[in-house]
Amino acid sequence: MKSLLVTGGHVIDPANHFDAAADVLILDGKISAVGKSLSTPPGVETFDATGKVVCPGLIDLHVHLREPGHTAKENLATGTAAAARGGFTSVVCMPNTSPPIDNSGTVALIRERAGREGLVNVFVTGAISKNIAGEELASIGSLKRAGVVAITDDGHCVQNNELMRRACEYAKMFNLPVMDHCQDYSLVTDGVMHEGYWSTTLGLRGWPAAGEEMIVARNILLAELTGAKIHCQHLSAAGSVALLREAKKRGVPVSGEACPHHFVLTDAAIAGSEKYWNHDGKEMAASQAGALPSWPAYHTHFKMNPPLRARKDREAIIEGLADGTIEILCSDHAPHCDYEKEVEFDYAPFGITGLETELALSLMQLFHAGKVSLSDIISKFTVAPARLLNLTKGTLNPGADGDVTIFDPDAEWTFHAKQSASKSRNSPFDGWKLKGRPEATIVGGKKVWVESSDD
């Protein structure tokens, strides 16, 4: 069924500045009306959302679905199932697959499979460079015609500034945002964790924050020069936030995103010495009242790119989210097989899963901690990514697609990675007690996932 009446919920639609108790009627896959005490049309099912928040379908604009080429880690079916369980009605997949998404044929393959096997909407990004090698531009116009919503070499960063400039000029011609993984290889070299006290203590090769900040500064200059929209992915460093804040004040067309692991954890987690946050946003030791699982030092679930950084960086990311410098929240969902992660820290791949925990972690660290309003958090998951990518999503306007997320911001639950819909289990939040849980995910008027005691 593609028609549904959601009743009794608290509707928050940041795109329309709507925040009140209301019903939402979806007819034939489209939003028909939002208002109080709507009548149920004949033959239309109802969904009781009393006590829950009802909002436009959440969008995660940074997800690795691993198809084609790495389907032992994830595929379109399992990745979109994880997204649905996390409350996401749309995901944007990255192009660092095998082969990379650098031509129209691969775009067509993914779109066809996603339409057949995906539970949620899947939007595709194309590579900036051929084979994501950073040496020659991909056919950006051809990628645009094939349906990509942005270009990025995510997982890699174009080091040649001239090539990046030309990519920005082409992207502006085709009205495509450029999403950039900010990493200066000459500074980062072979670092595996944040360069600082803990890297020295643990004897691991350091990854300086300047390795990210250098490319953020480069992107600001190129956005100013070319007028292209450049989006800085998974920001982790305090200096990056400061650079972005100053550039936005000058009207430079740059934006940024943050992932929960970068504003919840610090590099101390790799030493097993991290302090975490409880449901009210107050810091506590992991050992308090057995609140959280105890992870040993050097655990590879804490290895991601960019790395977990120092406390001041975490605080800067939160401040950037609170004042609007960072407009978008996302997961950087990066699944890996168990055997890949069960090696020495130096040799493990970067990345963690995140689709099923990001909403709860964002609510805990930002909303329940009193840092960011509920409406602003929803905006960072809906209208902001939709605006960046020129998607007709992220709103409950009549006539818009009937994508709706229903969640309980106060529900307490424990995340168990073994129960995840994803193929992979590489989450540092396995066993965490979380506050804020998706209750239902509706795509085009169809319930694709509903929370139950069996899930």
pLDDT digits (tens, 9 = 90+) for 253-274: 999 999 999 999 999 999 987 6
pLDDT at 143: 98
pLDDT at 289: 35
Q: What is the largest CA-CA distance in the chain?
A: 67
Three-class DSSP category at 372? coil
Per-residue pLDDT band for 288 (boundaries 50, 70, 90) equals very low
Q: Stretch 81-106: mean pLDDT, rounded?
A: 98
Q: Check if the beta carbon of residue 307 is closer than 8 Å to that of residue 193.
A: yes
Question: For residue 310, what are the CA distances in angstroms to 152, 234, 242, 382, 432?
Answer: 27, 15, 16, 29, 21
pLDDT at 292: 56
Dist. CA 186–CA 188, nearest whole Å: 6
State the pTM of this model.
0.95
pLDDT digits (tens, 9 = 90+) for 178-213: 999 999 999 999 999 999 999 999 999 999 999 999
pLDDT at 276: 59
Mean pLDDT over all residues of the chain? 94
Residue 116: alpha-carbon gap to chain centroid: 23
* Contacting residues for 35 by C-beta, under 8 A, at least 6 apart: 22, 23
Catalytic residue among 102, 180, 332, 430: 332
How is residue 302 annotated by DSSP?
A: G
* Catalytic-residue membership of 430: no
Residue ranges per structural domain of the chain: 63-394+416-434
Three-class DSSP category at 67? coil
pLDDT digits (tens, 9 = 90+) for 10-43: 999 999 999 999 999 999 999 999 999 899 999 9
pLDDT at 274: 67
Name the strand (E) or helix (H) holding 322: helix 311-322
Dist. CA 166–CA 103, nearest whole Å: 18
Q: Which of 127-141, 265-279, 430-444 has the lowest mean pLDDT?
A: 265-279
Multiple choice CATH, 63-394+416-434, 3.20.20.140, 2.40.50.140, 3.40.109.10, 3.30.365.10: 3.20.20.140
Q: Which residue has the tokens 């930002």?
A: 366
Q: Is the pLDDT of residue 278 over 60?
A: no
Per-residue pLDDT band for 296 (boundaries 50, 70, 90) equals confident
